[in-house]
Chain A
Amino acid sequence: MVAAAKPVHELSAWERFRKDVVRDKWLYLLLLPGIVFLLIFRYIPIFGNVIAFMDYNPYDMGASTWVGFKHFADLLTRPQFLQVFGNTLYISILKMVCGFPVPIILALMMNEMKNLKFKKVSQTLLYLPNFISWVVLSGLIMNMLDPDTGVVTSIINSIAGEKIQVLTDTRYFVPMLVVTDIYKGAGWGTIIYFAALSGIDPQLYEAAEIDGARKWKQLLHITLPSITPTIVIMLILTCNNIVNAGFDQIFMLYSALVYSVADIIDTYVYRIGIKNADYSFSTAAGLFKSVIAFVMILIVNTVAKKTGNEGIW
């Protein structure tokens, strides 16, 4: 009776909802394993971050005590962590500034190639390093930069006129990271610009040629403006990585000799957390990073949308 007294449209909404859920039961069933997976392997660790606010006892969770922001205060007053944080920002920003223009220039150059076979082969070769693991690449890099037998070392030494040990010298380690990062990623980075370049209407170029515009003018007035939206969105998205200086790469190549310039948040968390089993403190360091990354991605997405681009979601 009470139900009958309710407004008809409200009642039917609930009924509609139930009917819809029953109708789509197979869809929910399809969705179930994936959602359960995410809840276990993504959400439990997210909540697991609470140990950053505890003195976590790995042998007896009950013996862990709440300590509030103690580890964060510790973190931000430890000179070592501040250096690690500074290194992270410095390396990632340097990689962005030096690495960002490279794929654009490469794509523009290769776009001018009329020989399609040559273009295809060179694309294939330039994409390749992206698919090779940092373990293998670090092996190649160590081989090339070996102080005694390395090919690149001998070239550098003859230019510098002194014996330079790139991998253990704090002056050269970070530039080496930047160069090898470009080596791995720049070729692959061109693919997004090729997609943008192939979308340009060829009639624009034909019209420009009739008007007597040279290649250089065409580049400035047609090509660049056409791919500017892509450049902008890529630039915005790159900012996401400000706290990701490249864990795999650095982990494979660094050593205690270059910690002062190369130790980043991730490598620090690994050494303190996994090696020394200082779980709470290292989780605090990791959470600090995750929160910055989270804020960055929110900012980046808002900026992308405000500038008329598609956001990440």
Chain B
Amino acid sequence: MAHTNKIKTSTGEKIFTVFNYTFITVLCLIMLYPFWHVVMQSFSSMEETLKGGAFLYPKGFNLDTYRSVFNNPQVYTGFATSVMVTIVGTVLGTLLTAMTAYPLSKSRLRGGKVLMVIVLITMIFSAGMIPSFLLIQELGLLDNRLALILPALVSAYNCIIMKNFFLSIPESLEESARIDGANDIRIFFSIIVPLSKATIATIALFMAVAYWNDYFSTVLYIRSSEKWALQAVLRNMLTNTQQAMAQAGVNVVSTSNTNSETIKAGTIVISTVPILVVYPFVQKYFVTGVMIGGVKG
């Protein structure tokens, strides 16, 4: 009886296992296909993209698309702006977040609770788009790349994650340094920061992705197109192809092997490549990130 039961179970389980692997495989392929499609399209010829259909491989392979895309000066300024904003924003933001969170993790700090409430309120009450815009205007930061960096520098959410991590560092580690005469700032930079590398890296990762993907700040705060972030340049090329093609030096009636579809595909590819390049290396931090965020994700 027990024997037949076991066989029955394993048959059902086998069917389930096959179904399970098949289903997830198909799902992954569906997830991946749109990316694959545009990469293949970007290497394809104009006639083939106009015909449409699936692109499992480049049809009429050529590099004209990338010649046109890299002919567009906006792609370079957009790239430069986004790289600058991402690096400066992430480094400064992570540093400021850690500096803010560390004192708040000390229960002995007088007024710490009040300061924590000040931080918390910014998380539960959002100021709204128009007042934020008017502030940037008042500060004279309109059309200044600083407006792409400053507003997102410190978030209450990241502060709380950092603070919770700092709470888990045993006090005794600081005591010996204090006896040696080190002050809190020294302790923070020479003991706390090195101990918190994984947490800091996780927060830096998510900040970097947010900065790199930020499109709306450009829409709100930046007028001159040479100061646009890459996402805004990309958006412009996606929605305003004629202009984008003109900028890329493509004569619409010329014999060049590109059209709006391939240009769009090529721009999507080059703006996604940096994320895809970094992605495998930062993956190990995902789990840390979820663990420290706890269920508060």
- Chain A interface (Cβ within 8 Å of chain B)? 17, 20-21, 24, 26-31, 33-35, 37-46, 48-49, 51, 58, 106, 109-110, 112-113, 115, 118, 121-122, 124-129, 131-136, 138-144, 146, 148-151, 154, 183, 187, 191-192, 195, 212, 214-215, 230, 233-234, 237, 247-248, 251-252, 266, 269-270, 273-274, 279, 282-283, 286-287, 289-290, 293-294, 297-298, 309-310, 312-313
Instruction: From B66-74, B194-202, B289-297, give the one contacting chain A.
Output: B289-297
Tell whether, in the assembled complex, residue B110 and residue A126 are in contact, meaning their CB atoms are under 8 Å apart: no
Tell whether, in the assembled complex, residue A215 and residue B13 are in contact, meaning their CB atoms are under 8 Å apart: yes
CB<8 Å pairs between A and B, sample of 12: A26-B184, A31-B100, A33-B96, A38-B154, A45-B131, A106-B24, A122-B28, A140-B38, A150-B52, A212-B5, A269-B130, A293-B125
- Residues of chain B in range 121-156 having any CB-CB distance to chain A below 8 Å: 122-135, 150-151, 153-154, 156
Chain B contacts for A297, CB-based, 8 A: 124
Instruction: Say whether, besides A109-B24, A118-B21, A151-B53, A274 and B9 are in contact (CB < 8 Å).
Output: no
Bound-complex Cα distance A20 to B103 (A): 13
Residue of B nearest to A115 (CB): B21
Instruction: Say whether, besides A234-B295, A290-B128, A192 and B290 are in contact (CB < 8 Å).
Output: yes
Contact of B131 among A183, A283, A294, A313 (CB under 8 A): A283
Q: Does B256 contact A (CB under 8 A)?
A: no
Chain B contacts for A134, CB-based, 8 A: 213, 215
Contact of B103 among A28, A42, A286 (CB under 8 A): A28
Chain A contacts for B287, CB-based, 8 A: 191, 195
Instruction: From B57-65, B83-91, B246-254, B261-269, give the one contacting chain A.
Output: B261-269
Bound-complex Cα distance A21 to B25 (A): 60
**A45 → chain B, closest Cβ, in Å?**
3
Tell whether, in the assembled complex, residue A136 and residue B124 are in contact, meaning their CB atoms are under 8 Å apart: no
Bound-complex Cα distance A115 to B24 (A): 13
Instruction: Say whether, besides A122-B24, A191-B290, A282-B130, A31 and B104 are in contact (CB < 8 Å).
Output: yes
Residue of B nearest to A198 (CB): B287
**A178 → chain B, closest Cβ, in Å?**
16
Tell whether, in the assembled complex, residue A41 and residue B130 are in contact, meaning their CB atoms are under 8 Å apart: no
Chain B contacts for A266, CB-based, 8 A: 129
Tell whether, in the assembled complex, residue A49 and residue B295 are in contact, meaning their CB atoms are under 8 Å apart: no
Chain A contacts for B295, CB-based, 8 A: 192, 230, 233-234, 237, 309-310
Bound-complex Cα distance A187 to B9 (A): 30
Instruction: Say whether, besides A46-B131, A48-B127, A286-B129, A135 and B184 are in contact (CB < 8 Å).
Output: no
Q: Does B81 contact A (CB under 8 A)?
A: no
Tell whether, in the assembled complex, residue A27 and residue B103 are in contact, meaning their CB atoms are under 8 Å apart: yes
Bound-complex Cα distance A162 to B109 (A): 68
Tell whether, in the assembled complex, residue A149 and residue B50 are in contact, meaning their CB atoms are under 8 Å apart: yes
Contact of A44 among B104, B135, B159 (CB under 8 A): B135
**B240 → chain A, closest Cβ, in Å?**
13
Chain B contacts for A110, CB-based, 8 A: 24
Residue of B nearest to A46 (CB): B127
- Residues of chain B in range 97-112 having any CB-CB distance to chain A below 8 Å: 97, 99-100, 102-104, 106, 108-110
Chain B contacts for A26, CB-based, 8 A: 183-185
Bound-complex Cα distance A298 to B121 (A): 11
4 new A-B pairs (CB below 8 Å) besides A113-B20, A132-B272, A139-B268? A135-B238, A143-B41, A192-B297, A286-B130
Residue of B nearest to A187 (CB): B31
Chain B contacts for A150, CB-based, 8 A: 52
Bound-complex Cα distance A31 to B185 (A): 11
Instruction: Say whether, besides A27-B106, A27-B184, A30-B185, A269 and B128 are in contact (CB < 8 Å).
Output: yes
Tell whether, in the assembled complex, residue A124 and residue B283 are in contact, meaning their CB atoms are under 8 Å apart: yes
Chain B contacts for A247, CB-based, 8 A: 216
Contact of A287 among B106, B118, B128, B265 (CB under 8 A): B128
Chain A contacts for B132, CB-based, 8 A: 41, 45, 48
Tell whether, in the assembled complex, residue B54 and residue A283 are in contact, meaning their CB atoms are under 8 Å apart: no
Bound-complex Cα distance A187 to B32 (A): 12
Residue of A nearest to B125 (CB): A294
